[in-house]
Amino acid sequence: MKRLIWLALALAAGVALPWALGGAGLLSELRGFPLPLLLGLFAMILLCWTLNAIRLRVLLQAQGKALSLPRTIGMVMATEFAICATPGGSGGPLTLVALLDRQGIPAARSGAVFAMDQLSDLLFFCMAIAGVLLYAVFHQLNSRMEWLLGSSAILMVATLLACWTMARHQRRFVQFSGFVLKRLRMSRPRRWRWARRWLGFVHAFKDTAGMPRTSLALAFLLTCAHWALRFSVLWLALHGLGADLQWAWSFLVQILSLSAGQFSLLPGGAGAAELTSAALLTPLVGKPTAAAAILIWRIVTFYFYLLAGAPVFVLMVGKPLLRRLMALRQA
């Protein structure tokens, strides 16, 4: 119970930080924000869910499973809710695997779909950061942003190389994992069970990666469209507040803020994302505008995910998995 209270306080801090930053000028900034634009931002999130659902349907073709678009949208909303509601987004894979299992897709295959989904996201981020780096060559950056941008690029490239190394040398990876698990005194039957699960996942991932190139290209295009919309929310919020900030900088602020939120291991990075974005935005647009933009951005891309996704999660997943996720949050 104490953990839940602490997490609730963290979520409240995510709202309180922009109010503390903006001070008296925050309300006047929010009053001047166009209502049609705010509704348009929420509509963009609905479109993001639809794009993600179509991408999931494309990836499920390799598993020979065709799901209706409304059901797939519900799966995406429930999974996004679990990502936002658990530390580091750890509840997302568990939720998607559970939902796909109810559709007759084994855990290894649903895990492969989730892994391909995440790999597609990672590839997009690497390409986007490469584009921002190229843009930064011709524009001046302060030393802090240069360091953060370079660190993010190195981290993402290292993650891609790690994934490639695991795929290239999977036999050695299994042997090394077995050695580590043995040193951790895991029993032999359990080690064999984990090895079989890993091999099942590898075979399922190969089937997914072996889809027609047109399907893989379509899935990646949907990934690009989703994240381009998602990362335009802050830029449009700043535009609605009268700030003139280029899209590349708003993208950089968001990617760094969300990365800080992930490392904080708080649900949705509540508090850490707001604090990081405030530190990066305030020198560019001023305190009241930065505070208003951050508040609008987080309401649309975080709190809306929680409010809209919670009933869908409860309806589709039910109490058993909810209890498992709550236990995960308290671990």
| C-alpha–C-alpha distance, residues 178 and 172, integer Å | 10
Is 136 within 8 Å of 149 (Cβ atoms)?
Answer: yes
* pLDDT-flagged residues of the chain (< 70): 1-7, 9-10, 13, 62-63, 136, 139-152, 163-164, 166-171, 173-176, 178-185, 188, 192, 194-195, 197-200, 319-331
Element housing 137 (H / E) = helix 107-137
pTM of the model: 0.82
Question: Which of these, 328, 299, 309, lies nearest to 87 by C-alpha position?
Answer: 328
- Helix 272-285 to helix 247-264 angle, to the nearest 10 degrees? 150
Predicted confidence at residue 218, as pLDDT, reads: 92
Cβ burial, residue 319 (10 Å; 0-12/13-18/19+): exposed
Q: Name the β-bridge partners of 87.
A: 267
Predicted confidence at residue 166, as pLDDT, reads: 67
**DSSP output for 147-178:** HHHHHHHHHHHHHHHHHHHHHHTHHHHHHHHH
Report CA dihedral (189, 192, 196, 202) to the nearest 10 degrees: 150
Question: Which of these, 196, 191, 195, 202, lies nearest to 115 by C-alpha position?
Answer: 202
Query: What pLDDT, in 10s, does the model give residues 138-166?
Result: 766 666 566 666 666 777 777 777 766 76
Q: Which amino acid is at 292?
A: A
Whose structure tokens read 């299992």?
A: 101
| C-alpha–C-alpha distance, residues 321 and 299, integer Å | 26
Predicted confidence at residue 304, as pLDDT, reads: 93
| C-alpha–C-alpha distance, residues 259 and 243, integer Å | 24
| Residue 228 vs residues 45, 223, 293: alpha-carbon distances, Å | 11, 8, 18
For the four alpha carbons of 123, 124, 127 and 129, in that order, the dihedral sign comes to negative
Is 13 within 8 Å of 270 (Cβ atoms)?
Answer: yes
Question: Which of these, 127, 128, 133, 160, lies nearest to 147 by C-alpha position?
Answer: 133
Question: Which of these, 292, 328, 325, lies nearest to 18 by C-alpha position?
Answer: 292
Where on the phi/psi map is residue 23: left (φ > 0), alpha (ψ -120 to 50), or beta?
left
Distance of CA 157 to the CA centre of its chain: 17
| C-alpha–C-alpha distance, residues 131 and 114, integer Å | 26
Is 87 within 8 Å of 267 (Cβ atoms)?
Answer: yes
For the four alpha carbons of 146, 270, 110 and 231, in that order, the dihedral sign comes to negative
Predicted confidence at residue 331, as pLDDT, reads: 45
